[in-house]
Amino acid sequence: MPIQFAGKPGLVAYLTAGDPDLKTTRAIALAAIDAGADVIELGVPFSDPLADGPVIQRASERAVARGTSLAHVLALAKDLRAARPESGLVIFSYFNPILRFGLEKFCAAAEAAGVDGVLVTDMIVEEAADYLAALERHHLAPIFLAAPTSPDDRLERIAAVSKGFVYAISRIGITGTQQSLASDAKSLVKRLRQYTDLPIAVGFGVSNAEHFAAVGQFADAAVIGSALVAIIEKSAPAEAPNSIARFIQGLYAPALQAR
């Protein structure tokens, strides 16, 4: 399934798999897709999420404590693919769980599950030769992060090996919600645009309808993670899918009014 963004902006919804439990993550993912999310990023919980802020750290800790493994996340992905054949599906992980599982074995399993792309937080282009070859063999899109601190020559290299979309980090720092969107984001997207025609999704700190609309002015899609995970943290498991659906519908509401 190619990754496609229907809306302007499109929406990538990040969920930490296994928080509060795998069954609820499944229900939340389906609700998010039905409410308008174009791509689901299934986060593989890791014991040492050093690029994440407190919200996703806590979610990871809860999911790891419940024993959520990469194998569980792949099974969940397969299930989601069967239920929503048209939706974009990305696995989001730190590198170590994949290395431990086996890079080739992981890629084969992800392909069999119907996953579209893979994003590894601590994988950079210089280290990616084998990683890229394995993804290529299994028709998985490599999605890389681009940062405001990345000079143009790095952005060019990142764009050259990316497929699906490029994930532009809106500001320097870790994941998390914030009040306003840094001006870093717009100039990064502009610099990145010189090197790629792929969709560019902006993430890190996109947490409300206002940010979402603002991202739509200069990028193809927004990634929302911590804001969703925070809602899940506060909701009873049975209520979480509805809460997420309402939040996502709320993102699109001002955009609809503007039309």
Partner 1 sequence: MSTAETISQVAGRFGPYGGRYVPETLVAALDELERAYAEAQADPTFHARLDSLLRDYAGRPTPLYFAERLTGSLGGAKIYLKREDLLHTGAHKINNCLGQGLLAQRMGKHRIIAETGAGQHGVATATVCALLGMECVVYMGEEDMRRQELNVYRMRLLGAEVRGVSSGSKTLKDAINEAMRDWVTNVRTTHYLLGSVLGAHPYPAMVRDFHRVISREARQQIQEKEGRLPTAIIACVGGGSNAIGAFYEFIPDKNVRLIGVEAGGRGTKLGEHAARFQGGAPGVLQGTYSYVLQDDNGQIALTHSVSAGLDYASIGPEHAALHDTGRAEYVSATDEAALDATVKLARTEGILPALESAHAVAECIRLAPTLPRHDILVVNLSGRGDKDMGILSRELNLKGA
Q: Which of 21, 34, 38, 41 is catalytic?
A: 41
**Element holding 71 (H helix, E strand):** helix 70-83
Rounded Cα–Cα distance for residues 102 and 70 (Å): 11
Tokens 């940010």 — which residue? 211
Where along the sequence are the contacts to partner 1 (CB under 8 A)? 46-51, 53, 57, 61, 64, 69-71, 94-103, 121-124, 126-127, 129-131, 144-151, 154, 158, 169, 172-174
Rounded Cα–Cα distance for residues 169 and 204 (Å): 6
226-234 vs 54-65: helix crossing angle, rounded to 10: 60
Sign of CA dihedral 163, 55, 25, 234: negative
Tokens 């409410």 — which residue? 35
**Nearest-approach distance from CB 69 to partner 1, in angstroms:** 4
Q: Is 104 a catalytic residue?
A: no
Rounded Cα–Cα distance for residues 148 and 191 (Å): 10
H-helix segments, the chain: 22-35, 54-65, 70-83, 95-101, 103-113, 129-137, 152-161, 184-193, 209-218, 226-234, 240-258
Beta strands in 65-121 (DSSP E): 88-93, 117-120
- Find out whether 66 and 45 touch, Cβ atoms under 8 Å: no
Q: Which of 19, 52, 116, 184 is catalytic?
A: 52
Tokens 């792949």 — which residue? 74
Residue type, 40: I
**Nearest-approach distance from CB 184 to partner 1, in angstroms:** 11
Residue 136 in tokens: 């290529």
CB closer to partner 1, 61 vs 156: 61
**Nearest-approach distance from CB 9 to partner 1, in angstroms:** 21
Q: Is 152 a catalytic residue?
A: no
- Find out whether 204 and 222 touch, Cβ atoms under 8 Å: no
Q: Tell me which residues are annotated as active site.
A: 41, 52
